[in-house]
């Protein structure tokens, strides 16, 4: 019997369209929508999710997907797409609709309790809903997984192939070897930058300049502003990212642009033939994050980068730049500080924030930790890892939205991104004859060429571990990142006059 | 048997959400999307239309709708909503899917031929596709209508209740009585404004100032920019409109803002309880257009309005305003000129452009005119109505997109809007003790109060003719508009120094 490729293509196209619509609705919500439109937009997103779920689980597709995956004569791209969509479909089908609704309601309740507590310090208010939510997510995990480790089912949604067993030793190595780097870094961090004024519109100009400099195509995308910066593909040929402007701090804007433009370069670099397909995607969140962290940490972490942008900053901000050197900007951008809040953390401490969350959430799913004991466990481990402890739940267990929205297993992908980014940086270093030198010459097309050829163009065609090992020539592990951070910690500090 | 109101509500909610999504996708396309995203966006809109059509015609709903409409004990709003959605559903069900697809393809083909012709002067290229499209639309009309007049089926989609028989005498009266006004107006039109520079950002500031002044709530909406200005409700509490900036002409921006903000005030004024419902809508395009034309023509057509904005314009554009008085701005804004292009036409000639289109499209549907004879008929009638004739199809039959996209029966709603707007202006005049005086005192809250109470809040609850007769106290007809235009033509012209 001939395989019904036409039905498959139409179904996959529809799913891609629905996915793109969700990106448009979300982009507009973050960048353009007045706050008064939020209830309506939530309804729209809910309805869209229901339509997409109905389409994903449409009867009569499963057999076609199986037939495609099993047929050696069909092109590999189509087979991989059928495999990816089939996996998503299987996951959706294993979840009874009652459970999906109960989880959705528990997420809304937990998120509502969390965002409604004053100063986000209402652990007592969050405890009940969050306990119910974790119970339901454990039920979800049981429904999905064929294995025994419930946490793996959570991980798998964001990072296919990752397991607790494979991550645990890597995260343990990070905890051990990052501690002395925090110690050393914190001792040498420059004083925070004094009050200077970096006007909004000029910072947006700088955002465009930096994005364009590293290769983001503004004819094929847009840059916007939102409270929480993000990147999205709204459709083929329409990749957008947002930044956030703080008129007292241009470095946060530049780091954000490097990070988000990194995501965006990846999405602009998928093979054109993957348009309107599930292959127009990263194979995992970790693979995506790696592209962002490469630019943010390994380009933005080099003094050469700051020497490159310094003249442009002096043009745009003659007053604020008075007395500030490229070295000083670099010192601010790479300063290591003990801090309580993940999203404000530097490159070194960031991973310890993730280690903490990985340990706690995997303990929640193994049953070794009760939700009620989270704050105590958080504070104790924070003290061990970073040498400081939150004075309130707002500074601790309540600081992130992820768990409140049922996203367990998401945090590790940030550190996976950091690990892969460091491996990529080593590979780029070899390929271009020195990464720092290439940055110094603004040889961004050479860097982009390597990334496009080795990573971007594959989209979701190749699973993350294989993709990264092929691109970097080394197996997954923490060495590249740790070596880079240790090298930097030992390097003589640039002599800076920092006001 | 109890009527299944829960199923009805859920179905109607879903339709409202899908409708809102289409508005978000369209807004973003016009205001934010890079051109390279257009193919993808078209796919998304197509898929969304297919989803909405499937939902609209979902089995098992028809009986519920009938039961609701027939049950006197159900509240009138729910019954009216069931009636409106039932009508839309019936229309959708009468069209075989093959026909819908054939029309959609013919529209794309015609639009493609039209937009691809150089200078839009390719009648020969358009003729074939347009002929097929008109044939298919006539087939559609036969499928929909129970009556004998195919054109009425077209009208009914945009203006429920309107028929060719009811419109024809009104449009004939307009043709007869507007001709002398064109004659008189054209003789007194000021010379076009000389070259002055009105910078973009300040014009956007002016747009916000004018919109806010007449009552548009910027906390509940947004103002954007697009090539073709429009207004949309992206969700409850999220009404947006766009304007277009010409740095050589601020009057076009101000007129556009008055027009679109008029639409937007209407949408912001629907009863809150109509959220997520088919009642959050105008009962017809003519009713909607009337709200826009009231502000554009009857507020923007008064010298008092220009006296009100003149100081603000002087603040924003000190150089460009040099030597320009409020009276001069008013003279420019209300100048009557014989012109070939509808969208650039003034208040008097505009309706003659519509009369022309109404006559021709109704002749196409009655079979009295062949598509091949359109250009000749257009040019001849243009000469009779306006005393000028196009030198090319681009200046004539090919100037508008409507027919190219299969929108026959749409044009008359522009003039219906003008007619209703004039009747509303008379009613407001009485209610506030003189419309011009109220404008002079910036008593916009009083004007808005009348419109909100008499028109806006009803949404689609009351059919257009009844709504307007209740609001204005007079039956539908051309007298109000003709009297107003004749009065203005006879009024002594303001003495102006126009550069």
Q: Which of B93, B126, B147 is the last residue of a domain?
A: B147
Q: Are B24 and A27 a contacting pair at CB < 8 A?
A: no
pLDDT confidence of residue B119: 65
SS (H, E, C) chain A: CCCCHHHHHHHHHHHHHHHHHHHHHHHHHHHCCCHHHHHHHHHHHHHHHHHHHHHHCCCCCHHHHHHHHHCCCCCHHHHHHHHHHHHHHHHHHHCCHHHHHHHHHHHHHHHHHHHHCHHHCCHHHHHHHHHHHHHHHHHHHHHHCCCCCHHHHHHHHHCCCCCHHHHHHHHHHHHHHHHHHHHHHHHHCCCCCCCCCCCHHHHHHHHHHHHHHHCCCHHHEEEEECCCCCEEEEECCEEEEEECCECCEHHHHHHHHHHHHHHHHHHHCCCHHHCCCCCCCCCCHHHHHHHHHHHHHHHCCCHHHHHHHHHHHHHHCCCCCCCCCHHHHHHHHHCCCCCCCHHHCCHHHHHHHHHHHHHHHHHHHHCCCCHHHHHHHHHHHHHHHHCCCCCCHHHCCCCCCCHHHCCCCCCHHHHHHHHHHHHHHHHHHHHCCCHHHHHHCCCHHHHHHHHHHHCHHHCCCCCHHHHHHHHHCCCCCCHHHHHHHHHHHHCCCCCCCCC
Check pLDDT > 70 for residue A498: no
pLDDT confidence of residue A98: 86
User: Which string of b and e fits A446-480 if b means at least 16 CB within 10 Å?
Assistant: ebbebbbebbbebbbbbbbbebbeebbeeebebbb
pLDDT confidence of residue B412: 98
CB-based contact A377:A362 (threshold 8 Å): no
Same domain, B108 and B169: no
As annotated, the active-site residues of B are 260
Same domain, B118 and B161: no
Share of chain A above pLDDT 70, in %: 97
pLDDT confidence of residue B493: 52
Q: Write phi, then psi, for A322 (nearest 5 degrees).
A: -55, 120
As a whole number, mean pLDDT of residues B464-482 equals 97
Rounded to a whole number of angstroms, the distance from the CA of B121 to the nearest CA of chain A is 29
- Collect all residues of chain B within an 8 Å Cβ-Cβ radius of residue A20: 40, 43-44
Q: Which neighbouring-strand residues pair with B238?
A: B235
Name the CA radius of gyration of chain A, rounded: 23
Structurally, chain A folds into a number of domains equal to 2
Q: How many CB atoms lie within 10 A of CB B499?
A: 13
Q: Are B221 and A34 a contacting pair at CB < 8 A?
A: yes
pLDDT confidence of residue A100: 87
Same domain, B419 and B326: yes
* Residue span of the structural domain in which B344 resides: 148-499
pLDDT confidence of residue B34: 94
- Collect all residues of chain A within an 8 Å Cβ-Cβ radius of residue B51: 51
Q: Are A238 and B36 a contacting pair at CB < 8 A?
A: yes
Q: Which of A145, A175, A194 is the last residue of a domain?
A: A145
Q: Which of A111, A145, A179 is the last residue of a domain?
A: A145
Q: Are B237 and A34 a contacting pair at CB < 8 A?
A: yes
Same domain, A231 and A287: yes
Which candidate in A22, A24, A45, A222 is best for mutational testing of the B interface (most B CBs within 10 A)? A24
Q: What's the whole-model pTM score?
A: 0.93
Q: Using 50, 70 and 90 to split pLDDT, how confident is the model at B498?
A: very low
pLDDT confidence of residue A497: 43
Assign residue B484 a region (left: φ > 0; alpha: ψ between -120 and 50; beta: otherwise).
alpha
- Collect all residues of chain A within an 8 Å Cβ-Cβ radius of residue B40: 20, 234-238, 275-276
More confident call, B105 vs B467: B467
Same domain, A378 and A423: yes
Q: Using 50, 70 and 90 to split pLDDT, how confident is the model at A62?
A: very high
Check pLDDT > 60 for residue B2: yes
pLDDT confidence of residue A147: 75
Check pLDDT > 80 for residue A495: no
Same domain, B143 and B166: no
Per residue in B279-319, pLDDT (tens digit) is 999 999 999 999 999 999 999 999 999 999 999 999 999 99
Cα dihedral B10, B16, B21, B23, rounded to 10, equals 180
Check pLDDT > 50 for residue A80: yes
Q: How far apart are CA B348 and CA B341, in angstroms?
A: 13
Name the residue among B17, B37, B218 with its Cβ closest to that of A235.
Answer: B37
Q: Are A234 and B37 a contacting pair at CB < 8 A?
A: yes
- Collect all residues of chain B within an 8 Å Cβ-Cβ radius of residue A44: 17, 20-21, 24, 235
Q: Output the average pLDDT for chain A.
A: 94
pLDDT confidence of residue B495: 44
pLDDT confidence of residue A1: 58
pLDDT confidence of residue A96: 85
Name the residue among B21, B37, B237 with its Cβ closest to that of A238.
Answer: B37
Q: How far apart are CA A384 and CA A352, in angstroms?
A: 10
Per residue in B239-286, pLDDT (tens digit) is 999 999 999 999 999 999 999 999 999 999 999 999 999 999 999 999
Rounded to a whole number of angstroms, the distance from the CA of A259 to the nearest CA of chain B is 22
Q: Are B51 and A47 a contacting pair at CB < 8 A?
A: no
As a whole number, mean pLDDT of residues B370-388 equals 96
Same domain, A372 and A410: yes
Same domain, B441 and B371: yes
Same domain, B354 and B377: yes
As a whole number, mean pLDDT of residues A186-191 equals 88
Same domain, A110 and A209: no
Q: What is this model's ipTM?
A: 0.91
Rounded to a whole number of angstroms, the distance from the CA of B224 to the nearest CA of chain A is 10
Share of chain A above pLDDT 90, in %: 87
- Chain CA centroid to CA A367, Å: 27
User: Which string of b and e fits A141-177 if b means at least 16 CB within 10 Å?
Assistant: beebbeeebbbbbbbbbbbbebebeebeebbebbbeb
Q: Are B44 and A21 a contacting pair at CB < 8 A?
A: yes
Name the residue among A14, A40, A221 with its Cβ closest to that of B47.
Answer: A14
Q: Are B235 and A43 a contacting pair at CB < 8 A?
A: yes
Q: Are B28 and A28 a contacting pair at CB < 8 A?
A: yes
Two structure tokens written together for A99? 């459970």
pLDDT confidence of residue B118: 58
Share of chain B above pLDDT 90, in %: 87
As a whole number, mean pLDDT of residues B418-424 equals 98
Rounded to a whole number of angstroms, the distance from the CA of A244 to the nearest CA of chain B is 18
Check pLDDT > 90 for residue A214: yes
- Looking up residue A196, the CATH number of its domain turns out to be 1.10.1370.30
Q: What residue of B is the nearest CA neighbor of A276?
A: B40
Same domain, B115 and B202: no
Between A131-145, A327-341, B178-192, B325-339, the lowest mean confidence (pLDDT) is in B178-192
Name the residue among A18, A36, A235 with its Cβ closest to that of B238.
Answer: A36
- Catalytic pick from A107, A157, A159, A260? A260
Rounded to a whole number of angstroms, the distance from the CA of A247 to the nearest CA of chain B is 21
Name the residue among B25, B37, B51 with its Cβ closest to that of A237.
Answer: B37
More confident call, B188 vs A44: A44
Same domain, A54 and A169: no
As a whole number, mean pLDDT of residues B463-491 equals 94
């Amino acid at each position: 019997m001939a395989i019904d490729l036409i039905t498959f293509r139409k179904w996959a196209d529809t799913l891609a369209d629905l996915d793109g619509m969700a990106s448009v609705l979300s982009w507009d919500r973050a960048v353009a929508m007045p706050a008064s439109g939020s209830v309506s937009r939530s309804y729209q997103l809910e309805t869209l999710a229901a339509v997409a779920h109905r389409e994903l689980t449409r009867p009569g597709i499963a057999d076609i997907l199986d037939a495609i995956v099993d047929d050696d004569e069909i092109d590999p791209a189509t087979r991989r797409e059928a495999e990816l969509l089939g996996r998503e479909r299987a996951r959706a089908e294993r979840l009874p609709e009652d459970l999906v609704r109960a989880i959705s309601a528990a997420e809304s309740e937990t998120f509502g309790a969390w965002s409604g507590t004053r100063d986000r310090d209402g652990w007592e208010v969050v405890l009940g809903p969050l306990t119910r939510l974790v119970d339901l997510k454990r039920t979800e995990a049981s429904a999905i997984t064929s294995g025994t480790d419930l946490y793996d089912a959570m991980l798998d949604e964001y990072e296919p192939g990752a397991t607790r067993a494979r991550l645990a030793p890597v995260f343990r190595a990070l905890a051990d070897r990052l501690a002395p780097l925090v110690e050393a870094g914190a001792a040498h961090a420059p004083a925070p930058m004094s009050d200077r004024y970096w006007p909004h519109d000029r910072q947006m100009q700088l955002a465009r300049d930096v994005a364009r400099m590293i290769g983001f195509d503004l004819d094929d995308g847009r840059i916007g502003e939102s409270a929480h910066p993000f990147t999205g593909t709204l459709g083929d040929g329409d990749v957008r990212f947002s930044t956030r402007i703080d008129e007292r701090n241009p470095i946060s804007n530049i780091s954000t642009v490097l990070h988000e433009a990194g995501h965006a370069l990846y999405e602009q670099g998928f093979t054109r033939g993957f348009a309107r397909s599930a292959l127009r995607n990263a194979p995992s969140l970790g693979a995506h994050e790696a592209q962002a962290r490469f630019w943010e940490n390994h380009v933005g972490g080099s003094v050469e980068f700051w020497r490159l942008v310094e003249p442009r900053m002096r043009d745009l901000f003659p007053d604020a730049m008075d007395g500030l050197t490229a070295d000083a900007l670099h010192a601010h951008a790479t300063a290591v500080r003990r801090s309580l809040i993940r999203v404000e953390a530097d490159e070194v401490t960031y991973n310890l924030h993730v280690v903490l969350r990985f340990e706690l959430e995997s303990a929640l799913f193994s049953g070794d930790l009760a939700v009620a004991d989270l704050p105590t466990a958080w504070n104790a481990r924070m003290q061990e890892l970073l040498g400081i402890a939150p004075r309130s739940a707002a500074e601790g267990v309540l600081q992130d939205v992820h768990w409140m929205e049922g996203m367990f297993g998401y945090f590790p992908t940030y550190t996976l991104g950091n690990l892969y980014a460091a491996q990529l940086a080593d590979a780029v270093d070899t390929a271009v004859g020195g990464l720092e030198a290439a940055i110094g010459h603004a040889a961004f097309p050479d860097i982009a060429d390597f990334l496009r050829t080795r990573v971007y163009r594959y989209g979701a065609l190749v699973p993350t571990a294989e993709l990264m090992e092929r691109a970097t020539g080394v197996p997954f592990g923490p060495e590249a990142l740790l070596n880079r951070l240790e090298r930097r910690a030992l390097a003589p500090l640039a002599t800076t006059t920092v006001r």
